[in-house]
Amino acid sequence: MPWVTRGLRSGVVTTRYPRRPDGYPGPWVGSVRPRTSPPGEVDSGLDLESLCPTGAIRWEDPVVTVDRGRCILCMRCVRERPDIFVADGEVEVAVLHPSALVSPGPGSDDERALATLRTDLLRRTRALRRSVHIRHVDAGSDGTEEWEIAALTNPVYDVQRLGIFFTASPRHADILLVTGAGSGAMTGPLVETYEAMPSPKVVVAAGTDALSGGMHAGSYATTGGVTASLPVDVLVPGSPPSPFSLLHGILLAVGIVADRSGGGKQHEG
């Protein structure tokens, strides 16, 4: 009986995303970008690149860029130079190409490449939209992404309502969700998992470590992310990415939501 009354008091806590925008993220920091007008231009240059421990900042006078695939969201650049960098609360940060991780956004040539990638991905995954099974592999993670992935099955996100399920067998999986900096010991098992999956299949790399190695880039023990070992289709930046960002990446992989980086159209699920 106490559970019934508690449920009546709480009401429905499950998000309506992606059908409706969700205000739940609140103060969540999804990425860091240059705060300039026009975008990317800075009148005078200091040693901006030294602000970032992972080399995500590039300054080529007068343009400053931030590579979200390398950014670990330590916020040092925002604290030291709030006149140039700003924290962004956007959670729909998943993209289809590494060039789209760099802020300011992709140029016209990259836009054409993104359009091609988007078309190819939709063609391959059209049959997966109603029922999607995910095999998650930890390829050397620090555990932060795993906490966010686990949250996807709680009552707030409830990914099962969208026909998304996690599976222990790669032979039943449509999406390979990979986290971690790509440890050398996991390269073989990771490739074997990918090869065991039936086609069509999609690879989603989640988190800064998986995209570039993060703080572990250059280490003898890692490959600097998983993009060197697998053909990655969707990249989800963040350290760690929020459950909404992970969900956006999964839905982007099967063409249910848009690729925000290239102005892709919304697709009905």
Interval 214-236: pLDDT, tens: 998 888 889 999 998 999 999 99
More confident residue, 165 or 118: 165
Q: Write the DSSP string, the chain.
A: -HHHHHHHHH---S--TTTS---TTTT---EEEE--SSTTB-SS--SGGGG-TTS-EEEETTEEEEETTT-----HHHHH-TTTEEEE------BSSGGGGEES---HHHHHHHHHHHHHHHHHHGGGTT-EEEEEEESS--SHHHHHHHHTTSTTT-GGGGTEEE-S-GGG-SEEEEESS-BHHHHHHHHHHHHHSPSS-EEEEESHHHHH-GGGTT-TTB-SSSTTTS---EEE--SSPPHHHHHHHHHHHTTSS--TTTTPPP---
- pLDDT for residue 80 is more than 50: yes
Confidence of residue 262 (pLDDT cuts 50, 70, 90): very low
Q: What average pLDDT does this structure show over 78-103?
A: 90
Confidence of residue 35 (pLDDT cuts 50, 70, 90): confident
pLDDT for the residue numbered 4 = 67
pLDDT for the residue numbered 6 = 66
Confidence of residue 268 (pLDDT cuts 50, 70, 90): very low
Q: What average pLDDT does this structure show over 184-212?
A: 95
Share of the chain above pLDDT 70, in %: 84
Mean pLDDT value across the chain: 85
Q: What average pLDDT does this structure show over 130-135?
A: 90
Question: pLDDT tens, 155-188?
Answer: 999 999 999 999 999 999 999 999 999 999 999 9
- pLDDT for residue 249 is more than 50: yes
Architecture of domain 108-253: 3-Layer(aba) Sandwich (3.40)
